[in-house]
Chains A and B, each alone.
Chain A
Amino acid sequence: GENVEQHPSTLSVQEGDSAVIKCTYSDSASNYFPWYKQELGKGPQLIIDIRSNVGEKKDQRIAVTLNKTAKHFSLHITETQPEDSAVYFCAATYNNNDMRFGAGTRLTVKP
């Protein structure tokens, strides 16, 4: 099965700075890598995803990079704002669409 490691577990940045969260996965057959944001008391919300045939994807202030050889992928948030504060989860799926999550990163953006 798939094993997803996520680092760091907590991250504190100043408003306007960048934040980077990194994940590694174990199953080389994994082909889809979504990122979710979870606010307090709510369900996770998909914020960006990347498929295995792409190395990088960007959506406004959020970008994700994928290195299939090294089996790691990263979330980059630029120009952070207080409303970016939340818990972020990476995930990896493999052939039968099972999705396994990292342990989460609690991001705090200080105004």
Chain B
Amino acid sequence: NAGVMQNPRHLVRRRGQEARLRCSPMKGHSHVYWYRQLPEEGLKFMVYLQKENIIDESGMPKERFSAEFPKEGPSILRIQQVVRGDSAAYFCASSPRRSETEAFFGQGTRLTVV
């Protein structure tokens, strides 16, 4: 049973381009969370999704950021018109169900905006 898979591991984008980050949850997991981590800082919650539904997006910036978790395929975190401040490590985690259950993290995607 493969763990949470994120790709790409490293992504370089020029200012103004779009970044697409993918997350394939563990087999049997239908809940996905995205977090952002700046260097030397903690994990900031961005969004929590269940298959085809956004449950909580209170941590998502109002503009340029969007997330989806379609019925088939990976969860996608999309950042439009990237700026230097978007440079960070983006982690996703998955869990099999709601409430009182372990969430497992992927290795992260390190986004660098040049």
Which of A's residues lie within 8 Å of B, judged by CB?
1, 6, 31-32, 34, 36, 42-46, 49, 51-52, 89, 93, 95-104
Chain B 63-98 residues near chain A, CB threshold 8 A: 91, 93, 95, 97-98
B interface, size bucket:
20 to 34
Could you tell me which residues of chain B, from 31 to 52, have a CB within 8 Å of some CB in chain A? 31, 33, 35, 41-45, 48
Is B25's beta carbon under 8 Å from chain A? no
Contacts A42-B107, A43-B106, A43-B107 given; indicate if A1 touches B42 (C-beta within 8 A): no
Query: Ordered nearest first, which 10 A-B pairs have the shortest CB separation?
Result: A43-B105, A103-B42, A97-B98, A32-B100, A101-B43, A104-B42, A43-B107, A44-B105, A97-B99, A43-B108
Task: Compute the total of residue contacts between A and B using a CB distance below 8 Å.
Answer: 70
CB distance from A47 to the nearest CB of B (A): 11
How many Å lie between the Cα of A99 and that of B56 in the bound state?
A: 11
Contacts of B58 in A (CB 8 A): 1
Q: Report whether A32 and B101 are in contact in the complex, using a CB–CB cutoff of 8 Å.
A: yes
Query: Chain B residues near A101 (CB, 8 Å)?
Result: 35, 42-45
